[in-house]
Amino acid sequence: MTNYVNAGGPASPGTGSALPRTGGLSVRYIIPAALSLLLLGSCGQQEGGYANNGPQEFPIYTIRQTPTILKVQYPASLEGQQNIEIRPKIDGYIREILVDEGAFVKKGQVLFVIDAPQYEQEVRTATAAIQSAEAEVSAAKLQVSNLTPLVKKEIVTATALEAAQYNLKAKEAILSQAKASLANAHTNIGYTRIVSPVDGVVGTIPNKIGSLVSPAAPQALTMVSDIRNIYAYFSFDEKEFLAFTARYKGQSMQEKLQQMPAVSLVLPDGSSYPEKGRVETVNGMIDRATGAISFRATFPNPTGIIRSGGSATLEIPMNLSSALLLPQKATFEMQGRKMVYVVAADGMVKSREVHVMDIGTGDSYVVESGLQSGDKVVAEGMGNLKDSILIKPVPAKPLAQQ
């Protein structure tokens, strides 16, 4: 019968828990040692696997000088070709409102009717005054007609005839005054019907039927906007204005404006307005408060989709013969700065700050500083990188294929 002993001492007879010795070393010590070796081997395999796999592949974009069209964007406020306040010319109460807010109206269309009975009374009064004055003129003419032969016969003096003639002139003046009063009364009655001076869209109507209105009231009855053409107002700062004057040829400002390309609008929902516009005027003075100078572009608005008082983004295309294009997705933000990872010849990456302009295509920037032609930047996966990491560069798809 085989006897088992514990390491380090004799075994007790009949004990079934004794461990065999193996080359003078207990199995109790061999098993933990073996586990340690297995763990070390596993770690070694993992590290060796990373080393054997080599640096990770990353797509690389090479910066090149490329002809491109830069779309420079400016916030713009939109106004109708004409925005005309509609105000009453007489005092009175609104009797009728014949249009609704937002309605399209034609020139001469009646918008409001004012109840002003006093002007109808003025017409009747002026008409009666005319009739009375006409009778007096007729009587004065008759008197002059009767006195004229009597003066020739020296029955009455010439002074009496002159007095009659002066009286006739006075009566004729009274008649003219009565006719003027009637014309004025008719004019005032015409003012009770307020019409639109232009084709356009009706704005807000703050007053209701029965409201008392007056020419002196601070609030207009409404506003009619002629939106067949829309004006887009935008501004350059002084630096941009000087660059504009240098970029476009022409002896006068108007000649330079004529050299500018057609401009476009991006609406607040991000869609592009289908009509193109032209920059037509520039303000004669720089705003001292803002240091900006205002420009006005005109856009046709055949469908009336753009309304006065709106806003949009105005885009001016600018042809660049050689621009350094950088994919937008190759950049990342760090503490408010725009950064890229530049790849050295040995595959080591290094972060670098860049200054860029958005060209308006949504996928590329134009590099202003920080990169030069021939530089290689990581195009994707910057979240997995940090400075001084070695990578395996692979060419990224050209911008046109991305």
Same domain, yes or no: 268 and 313: yes
Do residues 291 and 306 share a domain?
A: yes
Joined together, the tokens standing for residue 366 give: 């134009």
Q: In the numeric block, which tokens belong to residue 86?
A: 């509609």
Record the pTM. Answer: 0.63
Please report whether residue 51 resides in a domain.
no
The answer to whether residue 236 sits within a structural domain is yes
Q: Provide the CATH number for the domain around residue 328.
A: 2.40.420.20
> Does the residue 48 lie in any domain?
no
Least reliable range by pLDDT among 41-45, 287-291, 355-359:
41-45
Residues 251-293 pLDDT 10s = 999 999 999 999 999 999 999 999 999 999 999 899 999 999 9
Last residue of a domain, one of 288, 318, 348: 318
**Do 156 and 93 lie in a common domain?**
no
Residue type for position 123? V
Whether 311 and 239 map to the same domain: the answer is: yes
- Do residues 232 and 264 both lie within one domain? yes
Percent of the chain residues past pLDDT 90, beyond the cut: 61
> What does the pLDDT read at residue 156?
81
Last residue of a domain, one of 267, 300, 318: 318
196 shares a domain with 97: yes
214 vs 15, higher pLDDT: 214
Q: Is residue 168 part of a domain?
A: yes
Domain range enclosing 34: 1-42
For residue 94, is pLDDT > 90? yes
Residues in the chain: 402
Same domain, 111 and 196: yes
Interstrand relation of 57-62 and 392-395 (parallel, antiparallel or unpaired): parallel
Measured distance between the N- and C-terminal CA atoms of the chain, rounded to whole angstroms: 81
pLDDT (tens digit, 9 = 90+) per residue, 315-348? 999 888 888 989 999 999 999 899 999 999 999 9
The better pLDDT of the pair 369, 32 is held by 369
Q: Is residue 52 part of a domain?
A: no
In a domain, 50, yes or no: no
* CATH code of the domain covering residue 146: 1.10.287
Q: What integer pLDDT is reported at residue 318 of this predicted model?
A: 85
Tell me whether residue 49 is in a domain.
no
Helix axes 117-152, 158-191, angle to 10 degrees: 160
In a domain, 47, yes or no: no
Distances from the Cα of 393 to the Cα of 91, 326, 358, angstroms: 82, 17, 26
Structurally, the chain folds into a number of domains equal to: 5
Kindly give, in sequence order, each residue whose CB lies less than 8 Å from that of residue 330, ignoring residues fewer than 6 positions away: 61, 340, 377, 378, 379, 380, 382
Q: What is the CATH number of the domain that holds 306?
A: 2.40.30.170
Q: Are 274 and 337 part of one and the same domain?
A: no
Q: Is pLDDT larger for residue 219 or for residue 15?
A: 219
6 in the same domain as 27: yes
CATH number at residue 98: 2.40.50.100
The predicted structure's pLDDT at residue 360? 61
Which residue did the predictor score with more confidence, 401 or 278?
278
Three-state secondary structure of the chain:
CCCCCCCCCCCCCCCCCCCCEECCEEHHHHHHHHHHHHHHHHHHHHHHHHHHHCCCEEEEEECCEEEEEEEEEEEEEEEEEEEEEECCCCCEEEEEECCCCCCEECCCCEEEEEECHHHHHHHHHHHHHHHHHHHHHHHHHHHHHHHHHHHHCCCCCHHHHHHHHHHHHHHHHHHHHHHHHHHHHHHHHHHCEEECCCCEEECCCCCCCCCEECCCCCCCCEEEEEEEEEEEEEEEEHHHHHHHHHHCCCCCHHHHHHHCCCEEEECCCCCECCCCEEEEEECCCCCCCCCEEEEEEEEECCCCCCCCCCEEEEEEEEEEEEEEEEEHHHCEEECCEEEEEEECCCCEEEEEECEEEECCCCCEEEEEECCCCCCEEECCCHHHCCCCCECEEEECCCHHHC
232 with 303, same domain: the answer is yes
Whether 97 and 30 map to the same domain: the answer is no
Question: Does one domain contain both 313 and 259?
Answer: yes
Residue 11 is predicted with a pLDDT of 38
